[in-house]
Structure 1
């Protein structure tokens, strides 16, 4: 899998908050944002899987 560049324009206050969150975890802002997106994507896919499973088995 290759990588692609994504450029964002964000508010200075948001960038400062992202820097603080990333620093607490010993991460760069880029790594923090990527991990957050990956986690959110996983959560969404997991919720979809649960919904499909409940529909298949007929949730109580």
Structure 2
């Protein structure tokens, strides 16, 4: 697998908070942020999978209503 570089600009308060969270886990800030992004991606893929399973197992009467995109808390991603 190849790797790419992503550069972020953030204020010092946010960086300090991320650094503190990462240090509690013995991680670098970079590793902590990457892990958070991977976890969020997994959560999103899991939610999509759950919705697809619910549509698959729904009765025919419910399938029409379930086909419209589900609204997730916090708005679209």
With the length of structure 2 as denominator, give the TM-score of the two structures: 0.74
* Structure with the bigger percentage of helix: 1
| Aligned counterpart, 1:3 | 3
Q: Higher Cα Rg: structure 1 or 2?
A: 2
Q: Which runs of 5+ in 2 are unaligned?
A: 60-77
Q: Which runs of 5+ in 1 are unaligned?
A: none
CA distance in 1, matches of 2:21, 2:2: 27
Structure 1 runs (4+) greater than 4 angstroms displaced = none
Q: How does 1:1-60 map to 2 (within 5 A)?
A: 1-58=1-58
CA distance in 1, matches of 2:12, 2:41: 25
CA distance in 1, matches of 2:41, 2:11: 23
Structure ranking higher on relative contact order (CA contacts 8 Å, 6+ apart): 1
RMSD of Structure 2 on Structure 1 (CA): 1.0
CA distance in 2, matches of 1:10, 1:48: 30
